[in-house]
């Protein structure tokens, strides 16, 4: 364990104030959000990418960028599946304080046991963070690869249409590229506070309570 547990005669009430606190997720709903990402969105995207591989692999040369489509789709499948596997380890490491107390009821009446239990929870919470960080990075790679796969799949075979005004064969490709760039912009905006137009999709850290509250929103939302 990364933290030593010193013997103590503290009561449970004293430990509640002085012991190492529970590590909580931030934002509060991140556990459920990531769980749905890796258990629902990840497999769905990997399934779509696998369908694209099955479509293109028999005759890749019949597509304008057939081999590129296969490469990007396989990258997407691989990174998404690895992200799902890593997320299993992350989920196994996370438990709420209430669950810890249910499993180790002695901590409800023994200060030493409570202090030890909190240290154990912090240890596994750090493991959860380590796993989910790597799973999230792989998921981002898989998402970008999937969007790039779609763009490459609809790439026009004849770029000579560009000088003319007939963009019918180019528009799907341009839309695909636009979504790839939007995803890149989104990922960068999550990490750079002053990124241009970040406020359009990323909530600022100093969100104030609306005054008055929006219609249909009760005061219990702001307690």
SS3 133: helix
Question: Is position 37 within any domain?
Answer: yes
Does a structural domain hold residue 195? no
Does a structural domain hold residue 194? no
Q: What range does the domain containing 83 cover?
A: 12-159
The tens digit of pLDDT for each residue in 108-157 reads 888 888 888 888 888 898 899 899 989 999 999 999 999 999 988 888 77
Q: What is the DSSP letter of 20?
A: P
Domain count, the chain: 1
Task: Summarize pLDDT for 146-204 with one digit per residue, the tens.
Answer: 999 998 888 877 666 555 545 666 777 888 888 888 888 888 887 777 777 777 777 76
Is 83 a member of any domain?
yes
Does residue 69 have a pLDDT over 80? yes
Q: Is residue 140 part of a domain?
A: yes
pLDDT digits (tens, 9 = 90+) for 20-43: 578 877 777 888 888 888 888 899
Residue 63 lies in a domain: yes
- Tell me if 55 is assigned to some domain: yes
Residue 67 lies in a domain: yes
The whole-number pLDDT of residue 159 equals 63
Cα separations in angstroms, 4 against 1, 49, 156, 213: 7, 47, 63, 48
Q: Is 45 exposed, middle or buried (0-12, 13-18, 19+ CB in 10 A)?
A: buried
Handedness of CA 10, 13, 15, 18 (dihedral sign): negative
The candidate with the shortest Cα–Cα distance to 102, out of 116, 117, 90, is: 117
pLDDT band at 84 (very low <50, low <70, confident <90, very high): very high
* pTM score of the predicted model: 0.73
Pick the more confident residue, 163 or 96: 96
């Amino acid at each position: 364990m990364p933290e030593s547990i010193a013997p103590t005669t503290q009561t449970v009430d004293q430990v509640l104030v002085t012991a190492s606190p529970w590590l909580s997720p931030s934002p509060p709903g991140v556990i459920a959000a990531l769980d749905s990402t890796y258990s629902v969105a990840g497999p769905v995207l990997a399934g779509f990418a696998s369908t694209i591989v099955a479509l293109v692999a028999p005759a890749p040369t019949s597509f304008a960028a057939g081999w590129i489509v296969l490469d990007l789709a396989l990258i997407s499948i691989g990174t998404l599946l690895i992200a799902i596997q890593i997320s299993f380890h992350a989920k196994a490491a996370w438990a709420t304080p209430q669950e810890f107390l249910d499993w180790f009821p002695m901590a409800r009446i023994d200060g030493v046991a409570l202090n030890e239990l909190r240290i154990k929870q912090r240890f596994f919470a750090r493991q959860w963070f380590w796993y989910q960080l790597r799973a999230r990075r792989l998921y981002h790679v898989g998402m970008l690869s999937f969007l790039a796969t779609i763009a490459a799949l609809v790439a026009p075979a004849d770029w000579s249409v560009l000088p003319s005004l007939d963009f019918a064969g180019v528009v799907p490709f341009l839309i695909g590229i636009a979504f790839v760039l939007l995803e890149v912009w989104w990922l960068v905006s999550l990490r750079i506070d002053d990124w241009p137009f970040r406020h359009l999709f990323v909530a600022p850290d100093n969100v104030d309570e609306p005054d008055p509250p929006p219609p249909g929103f009760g005061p219990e939302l702001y307690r």
